[in-house]
Amino acid sequence: MLDNKEDVFILAIESSCDETAAAVVKNGREVLSNIIYSQIALHTVYGGVVPEIASRKHIEKINQVIEQALIEADKKLEDMTAIAVTYGPGLVGALLVGVSAAKAISFASGIPLVGVHHIEGHICANYIENKELEPPFVCLVVSGGHSHLVVVKAYGEYEIIGRTRDDAAGEAFDKVARAIGLGYPGGPKIDKVSKEGNPEAVHFPRAKVVGAEYDFSFSGLKSAVLNYLNSCEMKGEKINTADVAASFQKAVIDVLVEHSIRGVKESGLDKFAIAGGVASNSSLREALEKECRERGIRFYHPSLALCTDNAAMIGAAGYYEYKKGVRHGFDLNAVPNLKLGERMG
């Protein structure tokens, strides 16, 4: 499509964890480029993300990734309407690299700066491939650091109806994967090995939080898996890794599905979306697809590459923030524990 004067081009930057990413997004929903340098291989040897290594690698890669995003989009920096950057939540040193790069580019070019909440980015990933999706809808956000059930009331307006009390869903996947010897990152490995296992082989608990029916708690489940592994070891019984993985995964999915469907029903809405790294889990997607189909709920999800961290989603979120008039000054800082719906400046 030809560009016209009203078009909004966002140069988006993401560096909150272990992906150095930049993208160019047109009018919030059209991705012209989406460059991701993944550091996963670098952290795998340590069994998890090492913050100091992540920050250093971001510094090495950030300019290269930004340049490549512009080249692939066939755009120049001067063509950009705004620069959007993740400023929280995430690892402080990692976030600072993206925020500093965005501020420097904005200062040198005069292009406005828009700070973006990482989780809002995950939610907005749904707008990219589902052109007809508009708020209001319910969204389950499940990533390495977050598990939230959210009502997206309008663009950039969120009501959190459920949250995790302890571990995030992705964190539980990563910890259990380490315990059963699958290594990092745990989510995709458990997803894969579970296909060979029996999800009914071991019964693990489905935790409920009394008085907060949409909240999640995954640390008890993680302990139950560890206890099961210990007791097998003590009895000299051989562990079937695929069965344990599949049974653990089923316990997580049952809770996520149950809370989500109840949340959608009680919200009176008929649209439901998922977001975040765990949203790429194949069994979770299948289970939600089925439940939504049976109940006449329209189900939306990003493609696999847009579930895990990327900058295209930051460009989508940045667009709606820009349209609302959000602009940040050069005092924009990294906020490692930024809450959803909380904004700086």
Q: d(Cα 223, Cα 170) in Å, to the nearest integer?
A: 15
Task: By CB under 5 A, tell whether 309 contacts Zn ion.
Answer: yes
What are the φ and ψ backbone dihedral angles of 22, each rounded to 5 degrees?
Answer: -145, 150
In this structure, the dihedral spanned by the alpha carbons of residues 261, 264, 269 and 272, taken in order and rounded to 10 degrees, is -70
Is 36 or 269 the residue whose CB approaches Zn ion more closely? Answer: 36
**Of 142-150, 151-159, 205-213, 329-337, which segment contacts ligand KG4 by CB under 6 A?**
142-150
Helices (H), the chain: 40-44, 51-73, 92-109, 118-129, 169-179, 186-194, 219-234, 241-267, 282-295, 304-307, 312-324
The 131-170 contact track toward Zn ion, x by CB under 5 A, reads ------------x---------------------------
Q: d(Cα 58, Cα 35) in Å, to the nearest integer?
A: 13
The 51-70 contact track toward ligand KG4, x by CB under 6 A, reads --------------------
Task: By CB under 6 A, tell whether 188 contacts ligand KG4.
Answer: yes
Nearest to 136 by CA among 323, 315, 300, 290: 300
Q: Which of 98, 115, 162, 185 binds ligand KG4 (CB under 6 A)?
A: 185
Report whether 106 contacts 100 (CB < 8 A).
no
Shortest distance (Å) from residue 309 CB to Zn ion: 4
Shortest distance (Å) from residue 191 CB to ligand KG4: 4
**Of 2-10, 143-151, 256-264, 323-331, which segment contacts ligand KG4 by CB under 6 A?**
143-151
Shortest distance (Å) from residue 144 CB to ligand KG4: 3
Report whether 124 contacts 306 (CB < 8 A).
no
Task: By CB under 6 A, tell whether 173 contacts ligand KG4.
Answer: yes
